[in-house]
Structures are given as structure tokens and as C-alpha cells.
Amino acid sequence: MAALDSPARRDLLMHGPVLHVTGARPNFPKAAPVIRGLDALGVDQVLVHTGQHYDDRMSEVFFRELDLPRPDLNLGVGSASHAAQTARLMVELETVLLDRAPSLVVVYGDVNSTAAAAMVAAKLQQPLAHVEAGLRSFDLSMPEEINRMVTDRLSALLLCTSADAIAHLAREGADPASIHLVGNPMIDTLLASMDRFDVERARREHALEGRYAVATLHRPGNVDNPEDIAALVAAMHSVADQVPVVLPLHPRGRGRLREGGLFDHPGMRIVDPLGYLDFMGLVRGADLVVTDSGGVQEETTVLGVPCLTLRPNTERPVTITHGTNRLVTRENLAAATAETLAAGRPETWDVPPLWDGRAGERIASVIAGFLEEH
């Protein structure tokens, strides 16, 4: 769609801005291409950072590295229990939405900031767009699954990364006119940044020679229960028996994992959370990734890095059917690691349709069309 001008553009300027709500590390690489796409169309925008993730390495570094505009508002909500954090988010976001009166609220992914913004927008009768709509793990023990379901039910625009997401929404009775297959904006960021992922620098900084693995662990099902942690630590040590493992460790569960002995294996290299470019440089050079993160499943799919997802399910099955991902358990992780290392990295691999670096443009076009129509 061409840049909005003439009567359509002038009409839009009379109404409120598009208001983006971001709050946690996974949101920022998804939002950056959408904001750029809308900026190219001349759409007025406001960027709200809720401060759900507030550490520099979990938040501020993304604005520097991804050329995101500085947030117009930073709510500084911080961490708390799910209920306390969501309540605080809703109170703060209600004030923002009343003050800014946006023509559309855009939310990303499945974090608490996303669900909180969705509920506030719905009660204020302000239309909502959900980027990454329709993903389902069908596991209600995951807080993210509840956030996804609530947000999708309240959204006027459902912007999907894959065909399976569209099928889920259709089964749930979503209006077909609201559903759009747009691709994956996080992959836009990855592809645009590829020449900045410095594998050799990552090797030097982490003293890595030869083969290595990268791991990320933060899901409640892995790090909250002390009984689970003992099994998790044993499983991760079985990986480190075979190959050095670099683990940038999320604050969530760090103390419990330390107490459980995760740090004690000489092959486990526990580091603080990394910025986007540093982390992706590390992943790009890895022979194996072990994760419980949704986004890492997608990034490894595009990079062709074998990924073992330490979960009983995934809301991103396209990374298995069109990528390098595989679900594993703590019990079979050691064997899966041995098999993966023996097979080596693939020379060719499938990538899901429309994961081509242009999702941000498509999302911007859909949003601009919605604004003109409404």
C-alpha cells in the first residue's frame, strides 16, 4: 500500500495514533519491523514500554540494537506475581489509553503486558490488533496460553505467522475477515540483522573452541518446582558431558537452578542475559540449541540450527514441520543430543511460508487498510 495521503491521510490525522504496547524481551524484535512499516506509510504512532522487563540486557539494549524509536512512555511496572503484575499493568495502561485515545492498539506475542493491554482496550471499546495471533499449545498450565486465548478473543485484527494459527482461530469461531496471514515480523528483524551476528566474536568472548551448544531455560514447568529442577539439572549436565553449553540465564529461576547444582558442571557456562546481537551471534554458530523459549524455536528454524525444545508441547509446530526443531523430554535429552551432534547441522532445511523478511510491511498494510475503513 502506498503512503497514506490526500483525504485518507488527512482523515487519519484527525483521529488517534496507533499505539504499540511492548513490555518484554520477545516483543521488541517483533515490534521493530511493524513500527518501521507504519512509519513508511506515514501513520502516527505511539510506543509504550510497560517495563515488564526492565534490566538493560532484557530491555534497553533492544532499543539501541534494533533501531527502535525510544518509547514515548515507559510505565516502569517491573516484576511481580502474575496477578499483581497484570493488575498494575491494567491500571497504568488504562490511564495511557484514555489519555492518548488511540485509533488502534497493537500488541505482540503472549506476555502479561499483551493480555493486560487487550483487556483494557476492550473495556474502553478501543480496537485491538494482535501480532502473532492464533498460536496454541493447548496447555492451560502455561500462563502464556491463557494470555494468547484472551488476547485473540478480544482482537479486531488477528495477524498470523503460520497457517496452523489460522486453523486454530477458525475452529474458535473468529471472524474470517479479521484473520490475516502476514508472516513472522521477528524473522524480519533476524534477516535484516544477519550480517551483524558475529560468530567469531561470540566464540572469543565465551572461550569456545570447536563444537558447542546454547541453552535457554525459563518456563515455570522447568524452573519453578524443586522436584523438576533436580531432573532438569541432571538432563542439562548430560548435554554438557557431550559438548560445552553456554546458558544465558534469565533471572527467573536463577537462584533455584544455582541451588539445584546447575552451575556445578565444568561444561556449563552460565552467563548473564545477552543483547539481541550477541545472543544471535552465539546461536548462529552453535551446533545445537536446547530451549524452552518459543522465539528461539523460530530463530533456529530460519538459521538452520538444530533445536531441542525441552517441553511436552509447542505453540509453534511449524518449526517442526518446516524447520529444525524437535520436542524432547528431560529423560531423552541426552540421547537426542547425541543423535543431533552425530547428524551435524543440515545443509538445507525448510522455512515456513512468508518468513521472508517482509512481514512488517504486510502488517503495516493491513493496519493501514483497517484505519482507512474505520
Catalytic residues, which ones?
218
Contact 118, 154 (CB under 8 A): yes
Q: How does DSSP assign 136-199, residue by residue?
A: ----TTSHHHHHHHHHHHH-SEEEESSHHHHHHHHHTT--GGGEEE---HHHHHHHHHGGG--H
What pairs with residue 158 in β-bridges? Answer: 130, 179
- Set of cell numbers at residue 277: 546481537
Residue showing cell 534497553: 60
Among candidates 165, 169, 42, 48, which has minimal Cα distance to 105?
48
Distance CA 236, CA 223 (A): 12
The SS3 assignment for 309 reads: strand
Please state the three-class secondary structure of 226-294 as a single string.
HHHHHHHHHHHHHHHCCCCEEEECCCCCHHHHHHCCHHHCCCEEEECCCCHHHHHHHHHCCCEEEECCH
Distance CA 367, CA 371 (A): 6
Given its phi and psi angles, is residue 14 left (phi above 0), alpha (psi -120 to 50 degrees) or beta?
alpha
